[in-house]
Amino acid sequence: MTVRGVRGATTVDHDEEQTVLVATERLVETMASENGIEISDIVSVLISTTVDVQSAFPAKAVRTIEGWNFVPVMCMHEMDVDGGMPRCIRVLMHINSETPQQDIIHIYQNEAVKLRPDLKK
Residue 67 lies in a domain: yes
Residue 48 lies in a domain: yes
| Residue of 16, 17, 38, 63 with catalytic role | 63
Residue 121 lies in a domain: no
- Mean pLDDT per block of 10 residues along the chain (121 residues) reads 95 97 97 96 97 96 94 95 95 96 95 82 56
Q: Is 26 a catalytic residue?
A: no
Residue 40 lies in a domain: yes
Residue 61 lies in a domain: yes
**pLDDT in the model for residue 114:** 86
Q: Is 111 a catalytic residue?
A: no
* CATH number of the domain enclosing 44: 3.30.1330.40
Percent helix, strand, coil in the chain, to 5, is 30, 30, 40
**pLDDT in the model for residue 117:** 77
Structurally, the chain folds into a number of domains equal to 1
Q: Is 87 a catalytic residue?
A: no
| Residue of 4, 75, 87, 88 with catalytic role | 75
Residue 101 lies in a domain: yes
Phi-psi region of 87 (alpha: psi -120 to 50; beta: other; left: phi over 0): left
Q: Is 66 a catalytic residue?
A: no
Task: Supply the range of the domain harboring residue 104.
Answer: 2-116
**pLDDT in the model for residue 24:** 98
| Residue of 66, 88, 90, 111 with catalytic role | 90
